Amino acid sequence: MKRQLKPVISWCLLFFALSLQHAAGQDKLLNVAVAGMNHDHIHVLLNQYRQHRVNITGIAEPDKGLIKRLQKNYDLPDALFYDTVEEMLQNTQPDVVLAYNPISEHIDVAERCLPRKIPLMVEKPLAINNKQARRIAFLSRENNTPVFTNYETTWYGSNQMLKQQAERKGFGPVKRMIAKDGHQGPKEIGCSKDFLNWLTDPEKNGAGALMDFGCYGANLMTWLMNGEKPIAVTAITRQLKPDIYPDVDDDATVLVEYKNGATGIIQASWNWSYGIKDLQVYGKNSSLHAVDGDTLLAGNSVQNTENVPLPGDYFKDQIAYLEAALSGKITTKNDLSSLENNLIVVEILEAARQSARSGKRIVL
């Protein structure tokens, strides 16, 4: 009897050891370094850090006052902080760098990360203009290192359901898209002074509401059109609150035209009466309407992410996405975070700025 037990015990021990090894592999956290902390979206990442969803290896931030305020809320040790991205990368080995700094400074982070073959994710949009976007793309290709752009709406299950159903037989080709994005205004909703200082600076943000919220519609429309570049862009920007935002637009309407007759209307504003991220898509015979992150109106039916299966490539947040993308589990080409998509987004935004200044339709 004892002789029979030995191999059973050995197999049990082996199975237990393999289970522990598998669990350890599953529990390995993504190592991220942070470039800048003056974008209020940093709180999403810091909450993920506090919840042990991600490991932060270093933070490059020169503003000592900002560091102290965030340290107090998130228990960040002094050893994490460096004055510059260069110094941080000389002392850490992250899986990816996440940039939470002004849009105009994304290029500087890319110049430090990509030659070291360190992947980069920036907060939306990718760059302040085409020149910087193309330089980032060159660095990415030259060093065979990916660059991603993070949008809140990428993690909306309703948008994923919308695209899945728009591609079904019977919906027909997309004819019209309407994206409404914005809120009452960054100052009105209580954005930090650190964020406002560059968000309302045309040199650092590129524009006001047009850049801040126009990028959402451009990103989603490019995705729904499967990476097709539009043929023309026409835009109107306005300053409805010049006393609050004297240097940038606070309201923008953008018309995006495609070669097959499809059109996209982007309504980006700091003048909505409430926060909104809303997407409507019209096909040949029916329509789809993502009214919030969880709810989709499909014709006369109301669908919710809780009771409708989501696509297999849906991720709940940027960390889950990066874990899959960097491990090679998914193909990221032309998805919402991809470089291919976001180069077109920057083209649309730059054309919109040019159109608003000149009063003309800009042919791409």
For residue 104, the domain's CATH number is: 3.40.50.720
Q: Is the pLDDT of residue 7 over 50?
A: no
The answer to whether residues 127 and 217 belong to one domain is no
The answer to whether residues 211 and 285 belong to one domain is yes
Does residue 84 form part of some domain? yes
Average pLDDT, the chain: 92
Query: Which residue, 153, 146, 126, is CA-closest to 350?
Result: 126
Does residue 16 form part of some domain? no
Taking the C-alpha atoms of residue 249 and residue 87, their distance in angstroms, rounded to an integer, is: 36
What is residue 27's predicted lDDT score, i.e. its pLDDT? Answer: 66
pLDDT range class, residue 12, cuts 50, 70, 90:
very low
Does residue 19 form part of some domain? no
The answer to whether residues 148 and 170 belong to one domain is no
The answer to whether residues 140 and 167 belong to one domain is no
Does residue 278 form part of some domain? yes
Q: Among 136, 152, 168, give the residue marking a domain's end.
A: 152
Residues found in the chain: 364
- Quote the domain boundaries for residue 146: 27-152
The answer to whether residues 215 and 127 belong to one domain is no
Taking the C-alpha atoms of residue 149 and residue 106, their distance in angstroms, rounded to an integer, is: 11
The answer to whether residues 46 and 142 belong to one domain is yes
Q: Is the pLDDT of residue 3 over 60?
A: no
How many structural domains compose the chain? 2
Does residue 106 form part of some domain? yes
The overall pTM is greater than 0.75? yes
Does residue 17 form part of some domain? no
The answer to whether residues 235 and 282 belong to one domain is yes
Does residue 3 form part of some domain? no
CB 179 within 8 A of CB 345: no
Find out whether the peptide bond into 125 is cis, omega within 30 degrees of 0: yes
The answer to whether residues 214 and 87 belong to one domain is no
CB 287 within 8 A of CB 280: yes
List, for residues 250-301, the tens digit of each pLDDT value: 999 999 999 999 999 999 999 999 999 999 999 988 999 999 999 999 988 9
Query: Which residue, 43, 46, 66, is CA-closest to 194?
Result: 66
Q: Among 152, 182, 209, give the residue marking a domain's end.
A: 152
The answer to whether residues 139 and 242 belong to one domain is no
Tokens of 284: 């040949």
The answer to whether residues 114 and 165 belong to one domain is no
Taking the C-alpha atoms of residue 111 and residue 106, their distance in angstroms, rounded to an integer, is: 9
CB 125 within 8 A of CB 215: yes
Does residue 73 form part of some domain? yes
The answer to whether residues 137 and 210 belong to one domain is no
Of 5-19, 122-136, 312-326, where does mean pLDDT reach its minimum? 5-19
Taking the C-alpha atoms of residue 342 and residue 293, their distance in angstroms, rounded to an integer, is: 21
Q: Is the pLDDT of residue 4 over 60?
A: no
The answer to whether residues 128 and 217 belong to one domain is no
What is residue 9's predicted lDDT score, i.e. its pLDDT? Answer: 43
- CATH number at 345 reads 3.30.360.10
Q: Among 101, 132, 152, give the residue marking a domain's end.
A: 152
CB 343 within 8 A of CB 333: no
Q: Is the pLDDT of residue 94 over 90?
A: yes
